[in-house]
Structure 1
Amino acid sequence: MHYTVVERELELKLVLSPEHSVAVPACLAYSTEDPYAVHIAFHINSDQPVNWTFARELLVEGVFRPCGQGDVRVWPAKAEGRSVVLMALSSPDGEALLEAPAAQVSAWLERTLRLVPPGSEGEQLGIDHALDQLLTR
């Protein structure tokens, strides 16, 4: 089966305090193989990138309004007059607040939504086809 991947390299800011942040190179990735999820790889000072996966729907909604609970929360904000998307990530290893440029995130999300429109994710997984195969036997 053929899968399509949409990637976007961008620079995020790791917010350490209201006055201080550190640039973090990252890669947003979306694959039709896993149509409900987005993947973000953060390239910090380690051998391997730090990877996070969460629902694409959460990021889509978070561009417009606060959403999420628990491990991943996303909301729009202004930083130095620019539109940004903030992502609060928490795990047993710690917590991070990341700031992403809203225009770049939105443009990348639009590409994923054109590839797999909301509501059609199940078709990508072939579940309907597999069910039809099972039921016709």
Structure 2
Amino acid sequence: MTAQLVVSRAYSVPVRMRLSYEPADPYVIRAVFLAPSDERVEWVLGRDLLADGLKGSAGDGDVRIWSAVGSGDRAMYIVLASRAATALLEVPVQDIRAFLQSTEALVPRGAESGHIDWDVELVCLLSQR
């Protein structure tokens, strides 16, 4: 999908945004942004956070999401903040909604824990000691 990187009230830059979802990591959505310079930036977003952003303001800290006032049901904003920079993105609501529906067809909300291989997770945790 195409998002708009908001630079100012009057100027934005189109940015390609690719979302991916793996049922083995059911709480997470990976977002890859391809800037016009072909720089690739990846963020990990909570699936519930993205879904909550469709209904109202969600998140704090590094990721915040809310519906665009005055744009009806067409757009939402995502703020991604790091120590290096902050980006404000305007994204099409219908694309986010369709993507989330496809993830829920794979793993319904509330059923995520049944898709995690807890033995593998435990091995990973113990190996980090």
TM-score by length of 1: 0.80
Give a deviation string over 1:74-131, Cα, whole Å, max 9, x none.
Answer: 0011466662110011001100000100011101101101211111111111339x99
The 5 A counterparts of 1:1-137 are 10-46=1-37, 48-78=39-69, 83-127=74-118
- Structure 1 runs (4+) deviating above 3 angstroms are 45-48, 78-82
CA–CA distance in structure 1, aligned partners of residues 39 and 19 of structure 2: 16
Uncovered stretches (5+) of structure 1, i.e. residues with no partner? 1-9, 132-137
Shift of residue 48 of structure 1? 4.8
Percent identical across equivalent pairs?
37
CA–CA distance in structure 2, aligned partners of residues 38 and 100 of structure 1: 15
Shift in alpha-carbon separation, 1:46–1:22, aligned structure 2, 3 A = closer
Q: What is the aligned length? A: 121
| Matched-pair contact (CA < 8 Å) for 2:24–2:116 | yes
2:24 aligns to what SS in structure 1?
Answer: coil
CA RMSD of aligned residues (A): 2.0
Uncovered stretches (5+) of structure 2, i.e. residues with no partner? 123-129
TM-score by length of 2: 0.85
> In structure 1, what residue type is equivalent to 2:40?
P
Bigger Rg over Cα: 1
More strand by share: 1
